């Protein structure tokens, strides 16, 4: 009679231990899987006195959410933009400020820019114009100086935030400046 009682008890215990190891939720009184904070007698014996979970223990930490796109894709866009543009010809000169508002690649009346048609067309043709790729440490830039001009552009292009800085201190920065010169305006068109 003693064996008839012990065998089913051992079977239930084995199932409970298996459930605790696989995280199916049978191993605790409330039906949840045991955690590192509330180890069961069998799990604390197998884990020793450590408070850290076993290597194959599941965690309840949520996965990080996907990050928002950092730039619109290169190529044609919708041509919608609301931008504040500041161009400083040199550190000692006063900055020139422009406002550019485009709808479907055409400037609106709010635009205060020397050539808003060219700037809006440039943004419609390349939505990523003001979001250059991050500088890689593996890219060599020519050590040439294009001038003291600097510029910042902030706002939104095709529903994507823009916060770009431009300078002319090396070949890579001169290339980015020249690509965006229609948006930077007349003061930004230094050759």
The tokens of 89 are what?
Answer: 């010809």
Residue with tokens 């007698």: 41
Return the bridge partners of 150, or none. 88, 167
Residue among 119, 132, 128, 130 at smallest CA distance from 77: 128
pLDDT digits (tens, 9 = 90+) for 139-176: 888 889 899 999 999 999 999 999 999 999 999 899 99
CATH of domain 81-188: 3.30.350.10
User: What pLDDT shows up at residue 47?
Assistant: 47
Number of neighbours of residue 186 by Cβ within 10 angstroms:
13
Beta bridge partners of 81: 102, 157
Task: Render pLDDT for 36-72 as a digit per residue (tens, 0 to 9).
Answer: 444 444 444 444 455 555 656 555 555 554 444 444 5
Read off the pTM: 0.58
CA distance 70 to 68: 6
Task: Report which of 115, 121, 132, 116 is spatially closest to residue 178, judged by C-alpha positions.
Answer: 132
Residue 127 confidence (pLDDT): 84
Domain coordinates in residue numbering, the chain:
2-47, 81-188
Helix (H) or strand (E) holding 177: helix 171-179
């Amino acid at each position: 009679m003693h064996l008839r009682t012990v065998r089913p008890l051992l079977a239930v215990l084995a199932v409970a231990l298996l459930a605790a190891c696989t995280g199916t939720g049978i191993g605790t009184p409330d039906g949840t899987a045991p955690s590192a904070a509330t180890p069961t007698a069998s799990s604390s014996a197998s884990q020793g006195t450590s408070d850290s979970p076993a290597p194959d223990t599941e965690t309840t930490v949520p996965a990080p959410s996907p990050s928002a796109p950092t730039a619109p894709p290169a190529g044609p866009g919708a041509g919608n933009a609301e931008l504040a543009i500041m161009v400083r010809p040199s550190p000692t000169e006063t900055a020139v400020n422009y406002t550019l508002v485009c709808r479907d690649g055409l400037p609106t009346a709010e635009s205060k820019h020397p050539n808003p048609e060219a700037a809006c067309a440039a943004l419609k043709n390349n939505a990523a114009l003001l979001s250059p790729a991050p500088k890689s440490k593996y890219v060599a830039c020519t050590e040439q100086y294009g001038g003291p001009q600097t510029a910042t552009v902030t706002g939104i292009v095709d529903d994507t935030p823009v916060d770009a800085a431009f300078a002319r201190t090396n070949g890579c920065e001169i290339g980015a400046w020249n690509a965006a010169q229609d948006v930077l305006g007349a003061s930004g068109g230094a050759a």
